[in-house]
Structure formats: C-alpha cells, structure tokens
Structure 1
Amino acid sequence: MNIRTRRHLAFTAIAAFTGFSCLLAGSPAAAQDYPTKPIKFLVGFTPGGSADLVSRFVAQKMSERLGQPVVVEQRMGATGIIAQDAVAKAAPDGYTMVLLTGGHPTSAAIKKTLPYHPVNDFGMISTIIEYPMAIGVRPDSPIKSFPDLLARAKAEPGKLSMSSAGTGSLHHLLGEWIKIESGTEMIHVPFKGAAPAYTELLGGRIDVFIETMTFLNVNFKNGQVRPLAVSSSHRLKDFPNVPTISETLPGVDPTSWLGLVVSPGTPPAIVSRLNRELRAVLAEPATAERFAALGGIPAPSTPDEMRTRVQREIDRWTRVVKLRNIERQD
C-alpha cells in the first residue's frame, strides 16, 4: 500500500468518524444526557411585567427539574422580535429558548416582514399561561354593559374612543374584531402600554379600556374600573357576573398567552424532555396559585397543539387586518 492510498484511507476514516459523531450528537442517546450546562431563557420584554414574572417563576421551577440553571436574560427591543430572532437563528441544541406571547401572531399579521418565519423557524414546546383580555370603563361612565357599549357605538359612529397598547397589538386587533362583528365604529387610541391608557381612562379622555386581566384583575376588584366583558370562552370564577364578549358576539373569544419555544431543528427527544418538564411545573398547585395572582391559568399543550394555535391566530388576525384596512408596518 503506497503513501497516497494510506492517506486516502486515513482521511476517509476521519470523515466517517466526524459524520458519525454529528449523528450521535443529535441521537436519542445524546438527548438523554441533556442538559449538561446552563440554559439561556431569553425574554424580550421589560423587567417587572407579567412576561418577566412568569418567565422567572418558570425558569426557577425548570432549573429544579432539569438539574441545570435556567438563566433568564432580558433581550429587549422591537416588541420581542430581537429575542425571538436570536433563538430562531441559534444552534438547535436546546440551550437557548425564548418566550412567545399572544402578540407573536399579531406581529406576523401586522408586520410587512419579519426576520424569521413565525411558525417554521421555532421549535414549539408548550404554551405556559393563558389570560383573557377584558373591556372596562370608568366607574362613573354612562356605559353600563357590553351590549350598551355596542348600542351607543352604533347610534353614534366614531364618537366613542377605545384604547390599545399600540397599533397592531392584541388589544388593538381585538377592538377591530369587535367592530367587524358588531358593525360599529369607534376611535382607536394607541398607547405605549397599560399605564398611560389607564391614566387617560380615569381622566375621562378615553371612553373604553382594553387590557389583559393581568392588569385589570386588581382594578376590577378594587372598583377603579367597571368591567363590561372578558374575552374568555366562559365567565371567570372571580367575576361570575361579568359576561363574556362571545355572549354578545359569538366566536369572539381571543385570549392572551405566553409560551416556550426553542430553535428549529432541535432534536425531538430534547423537545419532548422540555415539554414533559414544563407540563410537570404547570401541574403544580403552586403554579396555579402564582398564575391566579396574575389573572391567568396554567395552559399546558403539546408542541403540535401550540404550533396549530399560533398558525390559527396568525390567520385570524391577518383577516382582521385586511377587513379593517389596517396599514401594515415596516
């Protein structure tokens, strides 16, 4: 055997070993060892908000179950898109994950382009928490009920004003969906978050407040805001006298949510492990108690169920954007 032949065989053996090692890294055997180092949990929203609070609670619980630190890392900007893009392009090894919110499908509907595919570029793990949207008015408002709101809006088109957390937000598109189904017109007033909209509501400068129950839970209980309706499919245990939107407008029952995803192409065994551990966390009584304080309930799902939900909501909000002729954003 000459030198050239020996070199060829050596290179072939190295290439074969390298290929085998790569296959082994993504194999069930390798996934069984997961995780062997800390996991980054990216959150694209400000500290102290509901997304941040839920993320830190879940990270702590997941750390205990996985035997490795799950480290929350704030990577803010572009309503979560920067953090999501980082995970969409990260190594598919399960060591970088990110929080998606109910605003993820609305971004897909309102944005002209995104740096990733909103469904295919994520490995879905599970939804985490679900909380309804709610509609409220000032305690001294002449609007006494949700049907009363729609009757007044129909009688005087364009007179009543309705807040949102920004153009293209879930709050905004819910308001637009209500207009579609009720045949009414109300003025959309966007704000940068719940706090400034709440201030304007109490000051009498806007008529109707749309927010998540995370914010309105306490305000309803202390009488600072009068509830008109919630967007859940059934009435809430803590507010049995508050009707659902769908009691007046059948089918209008969108809820906000948070969910966990990893990079696309992450081995199925790792996805399965994360789903299993997260669902175990969500089944704990302490989790239900913590989430109730935030106006929500645990919302475990399979990866396929989460994927189906995201796609369904993208389709729904895209329809609303088109029907209401809302200008898509760059």
Structure 2
Amino acid sequence: MQKKQTLPKWMSPALLIAAGALTIVPQAARAAYPDKPITIVIPFSAGGAADTLGRLLADKIGQKVKQPVIVENKPGAGTLIASQHVASAKPDGYTLLLAASSLGTIPSINKNVKYDPVKSFVPITQVASVVHVISVNPEVPVKNVKELIEYLKQNKGKVSYASLGTGSSTQLEAEMFKNMANVDMQDIPYKGSAPALTDLISGRVQVMFDAWASTGPYAKAGKVKVLAVTTDKPSPSIPDMPTIAQAVPGFSAMPWLGLVAPKGTPDEVVQVIYKAVHESVQQDDVKAKFKTLGLDVIASDPATFGQFISKDVKTWGEVIRKANITVNP
C-alpha cells in the first residue's frame, strides 16, 4: 500500500493557494501596450523626406501613446536592409518599419530577398502617397501627355528618360508608361534626383518621372515642364495638374510610405498605432508639413492597406517582368 504523502508544516494549503495566485497575477496585471519605448526603423538616410516624415510620426505617435518613439535609420540596398531587419524582429509592436513602395518591388527584382512583402509583415496604415510627376525638358515641343506620346512615336529611339537606378519608382513608372502608351525611351540611370534634374534641364535627357518635391521648384522657375501627375486622380497637393490617366487610361502609379510590423504582431497592438497615426494626420500642422514634403495624406486602415500592398506587388511585378529588370540575373 502506497504511503500517503504529507506536506511539510510550513507548506500549508493556504500558502499553496496564495503562491498559485501569484503566478496568475502577472498575466492579469500585464501593462497595456505600449509600456516601453517603440522603435520606427527608417530605410533611408537622415535628412530626406521619408526621414522627416518618420520623425514627425514618431513624435506624434509618442504623444498619443505616452511612450517615447525612437527613430533608427537603416539605409542601404534599396531599403532591403531595413525591411529584412524588421521582418525578423520580435512581433510585439516595439519594432515597426516605415516601409516604402520598394518593400513590394524589390522581391521581384532581387531573387535573394529573404522576406515576402505580404506574408512577412502586418500592415498598419499607408500613411501617405508620394506625389510623382512626369516632366520634360522645356525644349521638347509638347504641352501635355497626349502630345508627348505622339512626339515619342515620331522620334522612336531618339528620346531618353532619367531614372534613379534599377528598380527605382522612377524607372518603374517610365517602363509602365512605355508599355501602356506603346512608346519607346532609353533609360539613363542616375544616383540621385539632383544630377538627373540637372541633365533634364540641360537637355541631355528629355523626360523624367520624379517626386514633385524635387521637381516642383524647377518647374516653378520654368526650368522644366511638368505635364501630369502619376496617380489616377488629381493630387490634393497640386489639384490643377492633369493626370497621365487622362491620356493613358488605366495608368496609375502611387509611390507610398506606410507603417508595417513583423508578422504575428497582435491586432490590438496594430490598432493602437493605427489610431495614433490616423488621429495625428488630421492635425493642421501635420497636413501642412506633408504638403511641404510633397506628400498626400492617406492614413488607410490596416485591412485596406493590406489589400493595397497585395495589388501593388502584382502590378509592379508584371512591369518588372516585362522590362526584364533585375539586379542578379
């Protein structure tokens, strides 16, 4: 017969119950998110429009959630370094990525990418669209996109466009335009907007897709001629500017900036950040800052942003395949 086990005198049933209760308390009393600083990883160097936006968001989110929000710049490899860093981060809401359009395009260009733009992240909000325009050298004898298409067809093989390199939004927009308008232009890559615009102004290249923030000052000075915005609808930043879609039905290119988190981040955490951003971008000072940066406010909800990313990946993946754009053939 098995001997009945007895508890030591100091280990009373009441003490055991109290000890058990202590193991439950930390779960029940766990502090609501966030209870420590949050980091927003920015895939660009300090000083640019995306960095300025990221720091503005960090400040506004911090005010809303009552915790410091730290900005960490991780530039390099066309945003790949930052994206892969966040994709592998702990999905607890304390490491976020200020993603750009390249989040979805790089995997189609570089086969060595270790993340999936849809499966590796949880969408929070598409914060803004980057206003892009198509411009020409003032000597190009056209006044609108329709006339540019006619000019390109009449001068096949003689016209060049400036891009910011392989896989850049400027190159992809130009290639989409070539496909949809059935025209031909030669890509001339540059290492930045400044040298590209210099050559556009001088006439070394004739056409360029680029951000309004970069092009606008030259357009206002009469040094370049802006024909249209790349979005399918007019931009609130330059509402009187026509769209490419008016001449090329279906054309739509919206470079974007948005917040994503590692896959597995709880929905309640996502909602906290989304709410903070959505409320912040309604403020007049934020709207004014966005306009100076050449950005249009979007602030879409997580589900809508997720659907947008999926569609964006497919759209640009097709453009990339048709143009045979790759960095590791």
> Cα offset for 1:240?
5.0
- Unpaired segments of 5 or more residues in structure 2? 8-15
Match of 1:270 in 2: 269
- Is the contact made by 1:161 and 1:207 (CA closer than 8 Å) also made in structure 2? yes
CA radius of gyration, larger in:
2
Q: Deviations over 1:208-237 (max 9, x none)?
A: 121012222333233232111111223345
1:197-236 equivalences in 2 (<5 Å)? 197-236=196-235
CA distance in 2, matches of 1:308, 1:5: 62
Deviation string, structure 1 residues 272-306 (Cα, Å, up to 9, x no partner): 11111111111212211110111222111111111
Contact 1:163 1:191 in 2 (8 A): yes
Report the residue type matching 2:223 in the other structure.
Q
Does the Cα contact within 8 Å between 2:121 and 2:261 map onto a contact in 1? yes
Same amino acid, percent of matched pairs: 32
Contact 2:130-2:256 at 8 Å conserved across structures: yes
Matches within 5 A, 1:54-93: 54-93=53-92
Q: State which drifts further: 234-243 or 62-71.
A: 234-243
**CA offsets per residue over residues 8-43 of structure 1, 9 Å max, x none?**
xxxxx9xxx9xx98x94xx9x74x611111111111
2:10 is matched with none
Question: Within 1, Cα distance between the matches of 2:4 and 2:325?
Answer: 71
Match status 1:285 vs 2:288: no
Q: 1:250-269 maps to which residues of 2 (within 5 A)?
A: 250-269=249-268
Report the equivalent of 2:127: 128
Residue 318 of structure 2: aligned partner: 319
Q: Structure 1 stretch 38-47 or stretch 236-245: which is displaced more?
A: 236-245
Say whether 1:301 aligns with 2:316: no
Counterparts of 2:238 and 2:274, CA distance in 1: 32
> 2:11 maps to which residue?
none
Q: Assess if the C-alpha contact under 8 Å between 1:287 and 1:298 holds in 2.
A: no
Corresponding residue for 1:10?
none
Per the TM alignment, residue 318 of structure 1 is displaced from its structure 2 partner at its CA by: 1.1
- Counterpart in 1 of 2:107? 108
Give, in angstroms, the shift of residue 65 of structure 1: 0.8
Residue 9 of structure 1: aligned partner:
none
Distance in 2 (alpha carbons) for counterparts of 1:167 and 1:235: 27
Secondary structure of 1:255's aligned partner: coil
Amino acid at match of 2:73: Q
Return 5+ residue gaps in structure 1 as ranges.
Answer: 7-12
Whole-angstrom distance in 2 between the partners of 1:3 and 1:54: 69
TM-score (norm 1): 0.88
